[in-house]
Structure 1
């Protein structure tokens, strides 16, 4: 078994001079940093007093699910002679703030990739490889909510 380790720095930049003196006294903004990589500005979701121009943790989770699926999908297509020419995804996720049994959590996510393949590629195989990508995806294997994939595959004209 191989093990991979990851580390980032989350630097809160939201102290407006009073720290967390009250719920409204501070900003939720932070910077995600890792050596050699571009910083990512983050904040809370605007529903929780966050900056709407910055990435929030929920956005990042959805982006992680989608990008991991895409990377596995492209790999599987490459080794199965399916030539992908374009790939764009518009994933959506649904989070609920919680009830008496469970605190806030993601309820589900849906990937909506639109894939263009070469006219020589097998469309049915290209569609089936989305299921394989889902089972291989490290992020999908790490979350405790369902992730569906509703892919659309077109041929290059």
Structure 2
């Protein structure tokens, strides 16, 4: 008896169009456009999204959504979730690449009894996140768990 699970495949589309200088528009059907361009370090402007930030943001967002999905499956409902992420762009053998992404989530829980379960879920998040599985960069996840103040 074959016990292998059949997995679906998905395709995602995005378009870019150059507008001026080192900037353009990122678009996808049915979604708001995003103005994109080079970061200031590469002669771009600081007020628009750079591909480097989008990559770091994608890792950060995927880790959050993976945690929330796994938490929901295990009956854990966090009160809050916030995270900061930082990517390191380095020149390796003459080519720039993001070598590491550090993500620092802060998960707010209802009570201390949930911390162990939340920590256990967080330990499996990186391995389950398809974005971190899709890049060469080292991904470090350092979570903090806090308890929501009791309502007075």
TM over 0.5: yes
CA–CA separation in structure 2 for the residues paired with 1:136 and 1:4: 17
Give the TM-score normalised by the residue count of structure 2. 0.89
Matched, 1:77 2:71: yes
**TM-score, reference length from structure 1:** 0.86
| Residue 90 (structure 1) aligned with residue 84 (structure 2) | yes
Establish whether residue 9 from structure 1 lines up as the match of residue 22 from structure 2. Answer: no
**Aligned equivalents of 2:50, 2:91: Cα separation in 1:** 15
**C-alpha contact (below 8 Å) 1:82/1:121 kept by paired residues:** no
State the match for 2:103 in structure 1.
Answer: 111
Q: Does 1:36 align with 2:27?
A: no
SS of alignment partner, residue 3 of structure 1 = coil
Q: How many residues align?
A: 143
Deviation at 1:120, TM superposition (A): 6.6
Checking the alignment, whether the CA contact within 8 Å between 1:72 and 1:133 is kept in structure 2 is yes
Q: For the Cα contact (< 8 Å) 1:98–1:105, is it kept in 2?
A: yes
**For 1:98 and 1:119, how far apart are their aligned partners in 2?**
45
Q: Which runs of 4+ in 1 moved over 3 A?
A: none
Matched, 1:61 2:76: no
Please identify which structure carries the higher strand content.
2
Comparing both structures, which one devotes a greater share of its residues to helix?
Answer: 2
> 1:79, 1:6 → 2: CA distance?
25
SS of alignment partner, residue 71 of structure 2? helix
Superposition RMSD in Å: 1.2
Structure 2 spans left out of the alignment, 5+ residues: 1-6
Selected match of 1:131 from 117, 123, 127:
123
Shift of 1:5: 0.4
